[in-house]
Amino acid sequence: MPAKSSRPSLEDAHKATVEAAAETGRALSELARHAGSAVQERLDDVGVNPRDYADYAGDKLDTAQQFVTAKIKEQPVKATLTALGVGFVLGFLLAR
């Protein structure tokens, strides 16, 4: 009968890794909950409503989208050439 090795088996290592990953996930979830609570408390103390900022940002994005859409409709050839130029430059930079 072969003697049992003092080294952990591959299955034991896998099980330990899975358990460690699960524990890490639980710890990160708990940390995120605490961080979210702390941020919300600070915002409440200051009197800031994050929803107001999100609504404002959404309105600004809608305005910008309408502006860009209008410019594309006014000058479609110029918009297409601009998009091709930007794509070429990005492709050149990313290919490096």
Residue 58 C-alpha from the chain's centroid: 18
Q: What is the pLDDT of residue 69?
A: 92
What global pTM score does this model have?
Answer: 0.43
pLDDT by residue, tens only, the chain of 96 residues = 455 556 768 788 778 888 888 888 888 888 888 888 888 888 777 777 778 888 899 999 999 999 999 998 999 899 999 999 999 999 989 987
Q: Contact 50/43 with Cβ under 8 angstroms?
A: yes
Structure tokens that stand for 3 in this block: 């003697």
Angle at 81 between CA 80 and CA 82, to 5 degrees: 90
Within a 10 A sphere around the Cβ of 7, how many other Cβ atoms?
8
Q: What is the pLDDT of residue 89?
A: 92
